[in-house]
Amino acid sequence: MRTTADDTRFRPGALIWLAVATFSMGIDGYVLAGLLPQISTDLQVDAAAAGQLMSVFAVTGAIAGPVLGALTGRWERKSTIVIALSVFVLGNLLVGLAPTYFWAMTGRVVSAVGGALLNAVIGSYVIARTPEHYRGRALALVMGGFLFATALGVPVGLVLGQADWRIPLFLVVGVGSAALVGIIARVPRLHLPPLSLRAALSPLTRPAILAVLLVPMGLMCASYLCFTYATLILGPRIGEGYPMIGALFGYGIVSLVGNFVSGRVTDRRGPVAVLTVIVATVLAAAVLGWAGLMLPGVAGAVAGLAWFLVSAFFNGGSGVAAQTRLAMMVPPAVAALVLALNNSAMMLGSGLGSAAGGLALATGVLPDQLLLLSGAVLAVALAVQLITAATVRRRPTEVSVGADSTPVAAGTHA
């Protein structure tokens, strides 16, 4: 049966399979960060080069997402999801089987292209298929797969990866393949009105939106500048292997808590105020964390973990505030597109952060000093946040909200 966007019955069973797909994406996006020593040894490259497997994935996804989303606008949505997920799974299989660094990098590019399109199409599918009064729950269910992967899937993958770093990639392939079967069997087909590339990129012509997008991009850049190389920062103090896995597990759990807390506080205080507090606090944590890492012995380890978990809490809460703020700036018809651009900005920020961290290490910067570089990025992000907040207060008419608009909040973290 040909289904259109007007047929908007709420089907949790179908959404669960989309959540399984985002679960596989969540594992793939983060698990390699804890396996850099194993990857560099096996592929015979240094840690900085191994880190570029993450940065290339993020940058490719950030560029490919909006473009592919627009170019495939005329395609039936379920078929597009199936194609995108298939490409994503194929790319991860290529990484898992890669005999050399070149093939591993090629696989990351392929998986990033599939994942970028998958993320864009899933978001538009959920919004189109779900009644407005169920939309928040539907988005939370689907995005919950990604958050659950960060909290549980990544640590499990890291445990398996101690034997062989390729095993988590095969885990992603297995979960993604299961999601593919479920989507083919349970997700209804959906046809949406075509969206041209020019229409898809039209929000980029609004300076206010571009300025606001710099804030989540800066947060992710600062986060990944350190998160990608967290093993090099915390490992010498708490131990590599299972202690580091425990720290990353704590990061995922605390981020998840931060996401839920941010949702409640954003509803009460507004996204602008919440986002300002988040950026300022993460900046303070970076500076104080760098100072604490200079302490000897257990004190340095405690300071490092405190920085790591405080950053996790506030980075985890940034997604809700950033997306709610952007959704309030545009009419409802464009809200989904702007949120997709926000996701691309965050991916671009994470890629730039990983690349900057790798370049800094390659030029002789010590791993601990990455916190100061992260603080510099956060200082710029805070300045942009304060300027854009002041501009909105002076010229509130620039914020266009339709009469029937409903803010969309879906939490994601660095």
φ, ψ of residue 365 in degrees (nearest 5)? -70, 135
Structure tokens belonging to residue 387: 């300027």
Residue 396 pLDDT more than 50?
no
Kindly report the pTM of this predicted structure: 0.69
Structure tokens at 34: 């804890």
Q: What does the pLDDT read at residue 90?
A: 96
- Amino acid identity of residue 355, one-letter, is A
What percent of the chain has a predicted confidence (pLDDT) above 90?
A: 30
Which range among 82-96, 242-256, 283-297 shows the weakest confidence by mean pLDDT? Answer: 242-256
The per-residue pLDDT for 378 is: 96
Nearest CA to 24 among 181, 202, 195, 149?
149
Structure confidence at residue 8 (pLDDT): 47
Q: Which two tokens stand for residue 272?
A: 């602008």
- Higher-pLDDT residue of 15, 412: 15
Are 224 and 357 in contact, with CB atoms under 8 Å apart? yes
What is the structure's pLDDT at 328? 73
What is the band of 407 on the pLDDT scale with cuts at 50, 70, 90?
Answer: very low
Q: Distance (Å, rounded) from C-alpha 255 to C-alpha 411?
A: 10
Question: How do residues 246-266 score in pLDDT, each as one tens digit?
Answer: 888 788 788 878 877 876 787
| pLDDT computed for residue 243 by the predictor | 84
Rounded Cα gap, residues 238 and 247, in angstroms: 9
Amino acid at 42: D
With 90 as the cut, is the pLDDT of residue 113 above it? Answer: yes
Nearest-5° angle of CA 101, CA 228, CA 81?
Answer: 70
Domains of the chain: 1-197 (1.20.1250.20), 201-414 (1.20.1250.20)
For residue 121 the two structure tokens come to 């199409």
Q: What's the mean pLDDT in 294-298?
A: 89
Q: pLDDT by residue (tens digit) across 157-215?
A: 778 887 888 988 999 999 999 999 999 998 888 776 665 666 656 777 788 888 999 99
CA distance linking residue 296 with residue 290, whole number of Å = 13
User: Would you place residue 344 in the very low, low, confident or very high pLDDT band (cuts 50, 70, 90)?
Assistant: confident
| Amino acid at residue number 288 | L
Q: Are 255 and 312 in contact (CB under 8 A)?
A: yes
Q: Indicate the DSSP class of residue 366.
A: -
Higher pLDDT, 410 or 50: 50
**Tokens coding 290:** 């760098």
Reported as a single tens digit per residue, the pLDDT across 21-55 is 988 888 887 777 778 888 888 888 887 888 888 87
What are the pLDDT digits (tens) for 123-134? 777 767 776 555
